[in-house]
Amino acid sequence: MSHLVKPHGGGELKPLRLEGAARKTELARAKALKQVKMSSRETGDLIMMGIGGFTPLDGFMTKADWQGVCDGMKTSSGLFWPIPVTLSTDDESIKDGDDIALVGGESGEIMGTMKVTEKYTIDKAHECMQVYKTTDIKHPGIKMVMAQGKYNLAGPVKVLSDGGFKAKYGAQFMTPAETRAAFEKMGWSKVAAFQTRNPMHRSHEYLVKIAIETMDGVLIHSLLGALKPGDIPAEVRSEAISTLVENYFAPNTVIQAGYPLDMRYAGPREALLHALFRQNYGCSHLIVGRDHAGVGDYYGPFDAQKIFDEIPKGSLETQNMNIDWTFWCKKCGGMASRRTCPHTKDDRILLSGTKVRAMLSEGQDLPVEFSRPEVAAVLKKYYASLTKEQNVKIELKGHSAA
């Protein structure tokens, strides 16, 4: 009997992928259909629907859903949802009622099919302001929205591919059903998700360990989709995290896995989405640190924590576990946060992302209070493998992991 949180919406997990013969038949049918090329973000969303991570969605959102989600974080059926999950196209020929094939923009692979129930236009700037709180085109999420096609297409989807994630990441690419089964096998019910798109330094290790001290276990859940230029690639990050787990975590306290979405960098709204799909993965909590899912200075450092108090009670079963800015403090002689350390900035070992990158690129050691030597070694090896030009282009994000 499971004591895990229920999937979002309160029903069963709803993976939209077809398998076996049904998949074969649908794939054959799809080959004859008009094709719509998906962006990387749309591809990630489709795969997520395929594995049940976006339960209980049936497909890409309608205009009413889009409007409700932008303005009140609710689909037209009243389901809590913080960020639009939409598909776009510039194709004038597609009409309501069409069956279309959904094609990976980069791979060209037919990844799914959709019955178009609605073709509509949106006010992109409105989505940007409501969801991202900005229309600044330098914001990578705004860039994504603005690059969408002229029309949105809504409709139920059938998913035919996982986009190669399973082949590429193996056991680390776990579906919600798989993480749930793993948690149950471990006897876990209070499980925190640690969302990360960066390697883990000691500040992140500390966040996770606080959760371990007080819960049954932690899912270290890495984004495997696309990042902004300069973020550490998934393979390197994954190796760095595995190294950390092997050397510094007790057995049976963490599970390391990844999920297929792209980052939107929507800060608070994305933190809610992160909690929502973690509920589908079976996590009762999401660790929300400083500037969760943020970029630049678009969001206040703790806006992503506060938004959980602003949504209607019961919107999500998965709760936020807020943790303040974390660091090594010399006077404390240990890891701490601003909630547990009374000392001053000068007592704390804080390195900017730029500084960390510079040190690693030059083959320098990071302070052991900042990063585990085993983790730093993985990163040094990666930076050493880059050409000088690649190195210059990289802007490593500092403290925030999420």
- Interface with a copy of itself, residue 332, by CB under 8 A: yes
In angstroms, give the least distance from the CB of 241 to a copy of itself.
15
- Interface with a copy of itself, residue 312, by CB under 8 A: no
**Among residues 230 and 342, whose Cβ is nearest to a copy of itself?**
342
- Interface with a copy of itself, residue 212, by CB under 8 A: yes
Residue of 99, 109, 184, 324 that binds a copy of itself (CB under 8 A): 324
- Interface with a copy of itself, residue 323, by CB under 8 A: yes
Catalytic annotation, pick one of 17, 41, 152, 198:
198
Contact segment (CB under 8 A) with a copy of itself among 44-52, 65-73, 211-219, 348-356 equals 211-219
Contact segment (CB under 8 A) with a copy of itself among 48-56, 169-177, 316-324, 382-390 equals 316-324
**Among residues 272 and 336, whose Cβ is nearest to a copy of itself?**
336
- Interface with a copy of itself, residue 337, by CB under 8 A: yes
- Interface with a copy of itself, residue 48, by CB under 8 A: no
Residue of 14, 139, 180, 209 that binds a copy of itself (CB under 8 A): 209
**Among residues 2 and 354, whose Cβ is nearest to a copy of itself?**
2
Q: Check if the beta carbon of residue 220 is closer than 8 Å to that of residue 336.
A: no
Cα 175 to Cα 398: distance, rounded to the nearest angstrom: 29
Catalytic status, residue 237 = no
- Interface with a copy of itself, residue 210, by CB under 8 A: yes
Contact segment (CB under 8 A) with a copy of itself among 84-92, 116-124, 151-159, 206-214 equals 206-214
Catalytic annotation, pick one of 17, 180, 197, 202:
197
In angstroms, give the least distance from the CB of 250 to a copy of itself.
5
- Interface with a copy of itself, residue 241, by CB under 8 A: no
Catalytic status, residue 198 = yes
Binding residues vs a copy of itself (CB under 8 A): 209-210, 212-214, 247-251, 253, 321-324, 332-342, 368-369
Q: Which residues are catalytic?
A: 197-198
